[in-house]
């Protein structure tokens, strides 16, 4: 599905554009043609390629949905690949959005996600329409800001989810219930955090390039807005690194707890083995098949041996108990 609208500087309302007339809809300076593509196929991409001056390499990137977060220039236009993230059924779902733009046009391609709907652009449109009149002649910069701002704001919900999962894992690791195996929650959260980090961490470099005015058509008003998004992206990067370190620390703590429990089990096992050693030694000696053994014909020797075994067992048990080995 393709939806196109043309915005004119200083005019609040936008005008719809017929999809079959995209090539004629551009009006140069003071206007911005915005094309939103979602649930698309090869026919839609072919139509877009004929109407807009998209480089073949950029078009090839639009056909595949596994692009890294990046900002690349292709002659007179740019390609931004970003990734939105949201929480779905306590899972982290990453959705790619490709934005290709020139001086007076912007193409947003919301890539499909398996078993999920593509990123919702309702909030992007609302923020863009609210801010664009304040940016005067900088509709392009406002449009880029709206996309990036919504995506970065969505990252904070992911960090909140990760914090909750870390608290749950901490309860598992340090709780009273024993878990000798590594909790499955650790691996699930680690995979999700790795995917989230790959999507969010490079975004600050993309915004940094925009702030350095490498794109000529972004005005000073949008740069101020993008600076706020950049600060948020830095905060997200710091949160991701701290959560990653905390998750690693919880994993190491779990292994330490398991190791301590294993040492405790081995200590108790060794202690009981030492307690039984004296009794086993006595029984082994008097179980030998020799005729001349001291006290072999003692009338009460059997009871003496049992008594000595019992006394040695009790004495060793008390000593080990006082040392905390049992």
Residues 91 and 198 in one domain: yes
Residue 11 to residue 205: CA distance in whole angstroms: 33
Residue 308 to residue 113: CA distance in whole angstroms: 76
Task: Output the CA–CA distances (angstroms, integers) from residue 95 to 30, 116, 203, 289, in the order listed.
Answer: 32, 9, 14, 81
Give a yes or no: residue 262 inside a domain: no
Residues 36 and 144 in one domain: yes
Residues 58 and 178 in one domain: yes
The predicted structure's pLDDT at residue 192: 84
CATH label of the domain that carries residue 231: 3.30.460.20
The predicted structure's pLDDT at residue 182: 64
Residue 312 to residue 41: CA distance in whole angstroms: 84
Residues 157 and 293 in one domain: no
The predicted structure's pLDDT at residue 258: 77
Residues 176 and 305 in one domain: no
The predicted structure's pLDDT at residue 148: 93
Q: What is the mean pLDDT of each run of 10 residues along the chain (326 residues)?
A: 84 83 79 87 85 87 85 90 85 88 89 83 89 79 91 91 84 70 74 87 90 84 90 92 87 80 81 83 80 75 83 84 77
The predicted structure's pLDDT at residue 9: 79
The predicted structure's pLDDT at residue 139: 84
CB 7 within 8 A of CB 25: no
- The Cα angle at residue 102 between residues 97 and 108, in degrees rounded to 5: 20
Tally of structural domains, the chain: 2
- What is the separation, in whole angstroms, between the first and last Cα of the chain? 71
Among 240, 257, 274, give the residue marking a domain's end: 257
CB 7 within 8 A of CB 31: yes
The predicted structure's pLDDT at residue 187: 78
| DSSP designation for 216 | T
Residue 217 to residue 73: CA distance in whole angstroms: 13
Residues 297 and 228 in one domain: no
Evaluated on CA atoms 226, 230, 233, 239, the torsion sign reads negative
Give a yes or no: residue 23 inside a domain: yes
Among 257, 272, 304, give the residue marking a domain's end: 257
Give a yes or no: residue 270 inside a domain: no
Residues 11 and 113 in one domain: yes
Segments forming the whole domain that contains residue 317? 286-322
Q: Is beta strand 91-101 parallel, antiparallel or unpaired with respect to 77-88?
A: antiparallel
Give a yes or no: residue 140 inside a domain: yes
């Amino acid at each position: 599905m393709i939806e196109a609208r043309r915005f004119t500087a200083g005019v609040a309302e936008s005008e719809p554009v017929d999809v079959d007339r995209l090539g004629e809809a551009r009006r140069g300076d003071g206007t911005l043609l915005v094309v939103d593509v979602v649930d698309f196929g090869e026919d839609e991409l072919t139509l877009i390629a004929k109407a807009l001056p998209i480089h073949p390499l950029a078009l090839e990137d639009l056909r595949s949905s596994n692009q890294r977060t990046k900002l690349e220039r292709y002659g007179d236009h740019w390609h931004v690949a970003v990734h939105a993230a949201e929480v779905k059924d306590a899972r982290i779902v990453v959705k790619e959005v490709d934005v290709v733009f020139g001086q007076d046009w912007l193409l947003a391609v919301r890539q499909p996600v398996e078993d999920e709907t593509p990123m919702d652009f309702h909030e992007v449109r609302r923020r863009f329409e609210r801010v664009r009149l304040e940016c005067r002649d900088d509709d392009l910069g406002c449009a880029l800001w709206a996309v990036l701002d919504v995506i970065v704001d969505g990252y904070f919900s992911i960090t909140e989810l990760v914090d909750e999962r870390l608290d749950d894992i901490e309860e598992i690791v340090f709780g009273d219930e024993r878990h000798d195996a590594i909790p499955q929650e650790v691996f699930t959260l680690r995979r999700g955090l790795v995917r989230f980090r790959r999507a969010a961490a490079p975004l600050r470099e993309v915004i940094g390039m925009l702030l350095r005015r490498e794109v000529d058509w972004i005005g000073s008003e949008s740069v101020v807005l993008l600076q706020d998004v950049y600060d948020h992206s830095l905060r997200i990067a710091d949160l991701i690194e701290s959560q990653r370190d905390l998750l690693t620390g919880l994993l190491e703590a779990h292994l330490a707890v398991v190791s301590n429990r294993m040492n405790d089990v081995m200590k108790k096992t060794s202690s009981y083995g030492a307690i039984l050693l004296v009794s086993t030694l006595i029984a082994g000696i008097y179980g030998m098949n020799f005729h001349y053994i001291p006290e072999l014909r003692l009338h009460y020797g059997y009871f003496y041996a049992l008594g000595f075994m019992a006394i040695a067992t009790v004495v060793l048990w008390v000593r080990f108990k006082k040392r905390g080995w049992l």
